[in-house]
Amino acid sequence: METRPMELVCPAGTPAALRAAVEAGAHSVYCGFNDETNARNFPGLNFSRAEMADAIAHAHRHGAKVLVAINTFPRADAEKVWHRAVDDAAQCGADAIILADLGLLDYAANKYPDLRRHLSVQAAASNADAIRFYVEAFGVRRVVLPRVLSVAEIAAINREIDCETEVFVFGGLCVMAEGRCSLSSYATGKSPNMNGVCSPASHVRYVEEKGHLVSRLGDFTIDRVPRGAPAPYPTLCKGAFSAGPYRGHVFEEAVSLDAATLVPQLAAAGVTALKIEGRQRSRSYVTAVVGNFRRIVDAVAKGLPPPASELARLSEGQATTAGAYRKSWR
């Protein structure tokens, strides 16, 4: 029996990446303004106001939606910067805005009641009670779930809420409370909520020592691998730890999330939308990943088994994991 495909929500760090995502089959594209209201505020990325308006018009002409991420937390006495971002997203014709801050949710709900509000993964709402609060207080229509829940837990949440759920299926894997990584903040002095990324590149160094490639974050050694072996990006939660005779990855291997084989189970769990991570990635990455997952969601909607994923080469360490979706230790 055919069903409506799950919504495929795809990343765009630039106008060119947005066009690539739309052409590759994205149902929706998420992006942000080139300022501090966006948790991926890096040089060379993101959209001016004029670019955002043009991008939204382009997406709409091709039947796709645009979700604008305004997902950082306003600085004290600077809330007008974030209010202006909400105003501009509405003016540009955004289909939804992705928010995390309580005050900003309240502002948007009161000023633009008809503009869809999605709860950012930065809010780390991981249980039904928390989600119901956001739905009842601010009219949130969709929540992006943190990457720490099993499929069974997602299904249980969906049975208790009156709200759409969106989950990550490919890309970077956060194993902490989203946006709250104290490890990264301690090591670099930069907040994942306000500076947009754990393990910021400015603090990353690679050096060769005694036949090994050593990765460091600030003053901390994260891992060391033999020369020629894949060297994953140095995030603290996926670094190697030593405890007595044991040495290994305590939380998760230094690999990327790929839940392609779990799309049928996620659909059965009541998930509305599948999200691909990667606003810092290239157009070719976006094209490959979006095309691959569009084939998967279309097959699942037709009641067919999902085609095999072909994306390991684009993953961190050239290897993948299903993350918390399949964690036996949970």
Per-residue pLDDT of the chain (330 residues; tens, 9 = 90+): 668 889 999 999 999 999 999 999 999 999 999 999 998 888 889 999 999 999 999 999 999 999 999 999 998 899 999 999 999 999 999 999 999 999 999 999 999 999 999 999 999 999 999 999 999 999 999 999 998 899 999 999 999 999 999 999 998 777 767 767 778 888 888 877 777 677 888 899 999 998 899 999 988 898 888 888 877 778 887 788 887 888 877 766 667 888 999 999 999 999 999 999 989 888 999 999 999 999 999 999 999 988 887 776 666 656 677 778 776 544
Going along the chain from its start, the domains and CATH numbers come out as 7-173+255-326 (3.20.20.70), 182-248 (no CATH)
pLDDT computed for residue 50 by the predictor? 98
Q: Between 79-92 and 49-61, two packed helices, what is the crossing angle to 10 degrees?
A: 30
Pairing of strands 142-144, 116-119: parallel
Sheet containing 220-226: order of strands? 204-209, 212-217, 220-226
Q: What pTM value is reported for the model? A: 0.90
Q: What is the DSSP string of 76-138?
A: TT-HHHHHHHHHHHHHHT-SEEEE--HHHHHHHHHH-TTSEEEE-GGG---SHHHHHHHHHHH
pLDDT computed for residue 123 by the predictor? 93
Angle at 278 between CA 157 and CA 44, to 5 degrees: 140
pLDDT computed for residue 329 by the predictor? 46
pLDDT computed for residue 181 by the predictor? 75
In 10 A of CB 103, how many CB atoms? 13
pLDDT computed for residue 134 by the predictor? 98
φ, ψ for residue 216, nearest 5 deg: -130, 145
